[in-house]
C-alpha cells in the first residue's frame, strides 16, 4: 500500500487518536515509501503559491540577514491550513553556515539554558563547543565512539526561558535575546505580513537520526496574534501538521535544510510534531546548499559573520548525522506584561514526552534528560 493510502487508512482507524497513529506510522524506520508526504520542491495538489509582502523588507535588509530579496522567495500555503506559510530555502549562498555555527558555538553559551544543565555542574556546561570540537573533528563512523557534549545536546532556550514544568514563561527568567537572530526573525515575519514582530523567546532543537519531537501545541506565549517562526538546518525531516484536536489526521511534509515555516492565524495553535529525521535526499553527507562558502563581500551592517575553516569543519561533521531547528516566538504583545505569579519555580526542567524530544534505539527508549 502506498504511504499516502496507508496514512489515510490509519487516520480512519478507531482507538488511538489519528495524530498518534500517523506519528507512529512515519516514525517507523522501514517506512521507505513516503509518496504521501508533501514535497514543496514539487508543489501540487493541496499546495499553492503564497503571496508575500515584498515591499515590507528592503533588498538591503534581506541581504543583511543573509536572505535573498523577498521577490525571489518561493512561498507556499496548504489548503485547509490558513495562516501556514512554507518558504523554500531563501538563504543566500553560504549564509546557512552562520546560523549553524551560532547554534553550536554561540547560542549554547551561558546565560542561555540547555538540557545538560539539568544534570551537570555549571562549570561542565559553560563551554560545550570548546569541550566538543576536537572530538567531533576526529569523529569516525563507528557508533561505539563516546559522544561529545554537543552530540548530547537536545535543546537550548533563548530570551524568555520556557519552563517545562509549568509550560509558562516568566519575567524573572529572561536573558538577552541574540541580536542577529532577532534581526533575521523580524525580516521573515515582515515579509509574511507581520511588521513589528519582536523575537522574545527561542527554543533550539538538536536532532539526530534517532530523534523525534512529540505531538504538541505552542500555546504558552501570551500573544497568539504573532506568528511562530521555524528555521531548519542540516539533515531533512518529516513534519506533521494537524488540527485543533488530536483526533484530526495531520498532513505530512518534508522539511529540508534552509526551509522556513511560519504558523500564524488559524494555524498558530494547531497540533504538530516531527516523527522522523531523514538523511539528506541528495544522497550526499551534507545538502548541497552547504557547498558554497560565504561571499567575502558582505553588506554594511550584515549580521552574518564569516566562519573559519576550522569552525566549519566541526559544524559540518556534526551536521552529517544531525538537524538543527530554531523556533522563534513573540511572547508578549506590545505593552503587555506577565501576570503576577507567586511561588512559581522558574527553573527550566525536562520536557515531557509529548512536548519535546523522544529518542528511540533498538535496545531501549531514552528519557529526554538522559545524556
Residue from 57, 46, 56 nearest 82 by CA: 46
Contact at 8 Å (CB) between 256 and 37?
Answer: no
| Of 258, 288, 299, nearest in space to 65 by CA | 299
State how far the Cα of 138 lies from the Cα of 253, in Å rounded to an integer: 34
CA distance 75 to 259: 10
**How far is the C-alpha of 234 from the C-alpha of 160, rounded, in Å?**
26
CA angle 247, 169, 271 (to 5 degrees): 15
> Which residues line the annotated binding site?
216, 218, 272
How far is Cα 308 from Cα 133, in angstroms, rounded to an integer?
13
Cα–Cα distance for residue pair 62/44, rounded to 1 Å? 28
d(CA 157, CA 174): 10
Q: Is 19 in contact with 215 (CB distance < 8 Å)?
A: yes
The answer to whether 12 and 41 have CB atoms below 8 angstroms apart is no
CB 84 within 8 A of CB 77: yes
Dihedral angle computed from the Cα positions of residues 278, 282, 283 and 284, in that order, rounded to the nearest 10 degrees: -100
The binding site for Fe cation consists of 216, 218, 272
Place of cell 542540516: 234
Residue with cell 495531520: 250
Amino acid at each position: 500500500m502506498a504511504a499516502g493510502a496507508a496514512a489515510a487508512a490509519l487516520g480512519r482507524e478507531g482507538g488511538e487518536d489519528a495524530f498518534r497513529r500517523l506519528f507512529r506510522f512515519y516514525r517507523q524506520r522501514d517506512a521507505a515509501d513516503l509518496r504521501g508526504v508533501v514535497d514543496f520542491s514539487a508543489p501540487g495538489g493541496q499546495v499553492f503559491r503564497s503571496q508575500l509582502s515584498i515591499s515590507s523588507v528592503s533588498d538591503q535588509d534581506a541581504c543583511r540577514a543573509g536572505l535573498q530579496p523577498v521577490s525571489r522567495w518561493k512561498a507556499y500555503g496548504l489548503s485547509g491550513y490558513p495562516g501556514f506559510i512554507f518558504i523554500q530555502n531563501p538563504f543566500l549562498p553560504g549564509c546557512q553556515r552562520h546560523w549553524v555555527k551560532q547554534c553550536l558555538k554561540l547560542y549554547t553559551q551561558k546565560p542561555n539554558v540547555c538540557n545538560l544543565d539539568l544534570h551537570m555542574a555549571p562549570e561542565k556546561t559553560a563551554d560545550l563547543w570548546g569541550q566538543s570540537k576536537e572530538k567531533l573533528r576526529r569523529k569516525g563512523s563507528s557508533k561505539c565512539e563516546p559522544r561529545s557534549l554537543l552530540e548530547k545536546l537536545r535543546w537550548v532556550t533563548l530570551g524568555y526561558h520556557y519552563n517545562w514544568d509549568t509550560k509558562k514563561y516568566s519575567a524573572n527568567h529572561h536573558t538577552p535575546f541574540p541580536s542577529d537572530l532577532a534581526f533575521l526573525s523580524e525580516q521573515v515575519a515582515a515579509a509574511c505580513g507581520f511588521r513589528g514582530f519582536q523575537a522574545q523567546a527561542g527554543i533550539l532543537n538538536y536532532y539526530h537520526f534517532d530523534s523525534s519531537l512529540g505531538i504538541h501545541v505552542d500555546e504558552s506565549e501570551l500573544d497568539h496574534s504573532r506568528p511562530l517562526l521555524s528555521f531548519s538546518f542540516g539533515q531533512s525531516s518529516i513534519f506533521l501538521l494537524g488540527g485543533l484536536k488530536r483526533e484530526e489526521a495531520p498532513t505530512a511534509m518534508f522539511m529540508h535544510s534552509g526551509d522556513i515555516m511560519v504558523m500564524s492565524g488559524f494555524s498558530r495553535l494547531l497540533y504538530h510534531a516531527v516523527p522522523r529525521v531523514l538523511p539528506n535526499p541528495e544522497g550526499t553527507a551534507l545538502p548541497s546548499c552547504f557547498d558554497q562558502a560565504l561571499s567575502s563581500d558582505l553588506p554594511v551592517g550584515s549580521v552574518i559573520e564569516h566562519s573559519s575553516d576550522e569552525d566549519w569543519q566541526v559544524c559540518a561533521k556534526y551536521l552529517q548525522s544531525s538537524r538543527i531547528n530554531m523556533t522563534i516566538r513573540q511572547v508578549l504583545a506590545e505593552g503587555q506584561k506577565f501576570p503576577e505569579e507567586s511561588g512559581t519555580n522558574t527553573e527550566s526542567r525536562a520536557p515531557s514526552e509529548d512536548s519535546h524530544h523522544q529518542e528511540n534505539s533498538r535496545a531501549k527508549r531514552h528519557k529526554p534528560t538522559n545524556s
